[in-house]
Amino acid sequence: MPQPVVEIEDLHVVLGRREILHGISCRLGVSGAGRAIGLLGPNGAGKSTLIRTLLGFHRPSRGMARVLGFDCHRQRRQVLERIGYMPETDSFVASMTGVEFLRVMGALSGLPGEIALEKAHETLFHVGLGEARYRTLGTYSLGMRQMARLAQAIVHGPELVILDEPTNGLDPSARRRMLDLIRQMKGEHGMSVIVCSHLLADVEQVCDEVVILKDGAVVHHADLEAERRANRRFVELEVEGDDSRLGEALEQRGAACVRESAGLWRIVLPADFDLRELWALAARQGLSVRRLTQRRDTLEEIFMKAMGLLRQTPGEAAAGEEVQVRGDL
């Protein structure tokens, strides 16, 4: 079986007298596959505590967490040698130049002095700070500081990079650049990436899977790549007439549906279902179509349902186990 990037089993973390993480269990990513994992949840959900536990700052009170096969508490040194971390806030000396900062961070990560300096120059050019590498960090704009934080996380070529709010405060151009860099990290360099963000659109663009936390527990784990391949289409249909046989006809054609009230249906169409078939099916049953709207599920809807803020859509009763595991409807 392929080794997961992150493996968590019955993880409990207590800070002070309060338990922050309550028995989290999940397997995220596949080592060496170059996948991006979105870590989502409202404020106070436990995202920062989970990240700090993976980095070895918090000791589990029960259970275990492994990164790339190494125990985050007992084998912390091996974990930190293979991981890069981009914090949400600035964490550098303002009087240092960009290249000095990256050289030091590379050396702290285990690179020999000359190689650390070479990688510092190379990485700053890679993130678009080549022209500013001799300027002090205190003169950098917000977007430049964000890129400097990314650069220090990847200067040593880690296997896993954890990015905490990587696009926070960036203008549209810098945001696109950051998302492109994340795609390159996983696609061209084979890095695994964990993206912790409140911006669901960014996560949806670059991530292959997401895990959603609420009140210190995992409430949803979705494979976005499988969602995209499935290409499900959601339809709301309003008809006039006797629709008592419509559900059976739809299910025979491979659709999942829920009759919300007389004449009002919520339907999930299979990928090969031509929308014109729906009109023809309604006509054969003597129904008049009053309204038909089509859409595709979004990460925002998945997140809202996981938070209990949005009612679930059709097919969940029919899909059963698949919905409980993947929540893809």
Task: Quote the CA–CA distance of 12 and 14 in Å, as a whole number.
Answer: 7
Chain centroid, CA 98 distance in Å:
29
pLDDT at 298: 66
Order of strands, edge to edge, in the sheet holding 83-86?
A: 83-86, 160-164, 192-196, 36-40, 209-214, 217-223
Angle between helices 172-187 and 142-154 (to 10 degrees): 10
- The model's pTM is 0.76
Structure tokens at 145: 């500081």
pLDDT at 306: 73
Model confidence pLDDT, tens digit, residues 254-310: 888 888 888 999 888 877 788 888 899 999 999 999 998 876 666 766 777 677 654
**Residues in the chain where the model's pLDDT stays below 50:** 310-311, 313-329
Q: Of 229, 230, 166, whose CA–CA distance to 193 is shortest? A: 166
pLDDT at 2: 78
The DSSP line for 228-290 is HHHT-EEEEEEEES--TTHHHHHHHTT-EEEEEETTEEEEEE-TT--HHHHHHHHHHTTPEEE
Task: Quote the CA–CA distance of 43 and 47 in Å, as a whole number.
Answer: 8
Tell me the one-letter amino acid at 95. Answer: S
Do residues 102 and 124 touch, judged by C-beta distance below 8 A? yes
Long-range Cβ contacts of 132-139 (<8 Å, 24+ apart): 132/98, 133/97, 133/98, 133/99, 134/97, 134/98, 134/99, 135/97, 135/98, 136/94, 136/95, 136/96, 136/97, 137/92, 137/93, 137/94, 137/95, 137/96, 137/97, 137/98, 137/101, 138/94, 138/95
The DSSP line for 316-329 is HHHHTHHHHHH---
pLDDT at 1: 67
Q: Which domains does the chain have, with CATH numbers?
A: 6-227 (3.40.50.300), 232-326 (3.30.70)
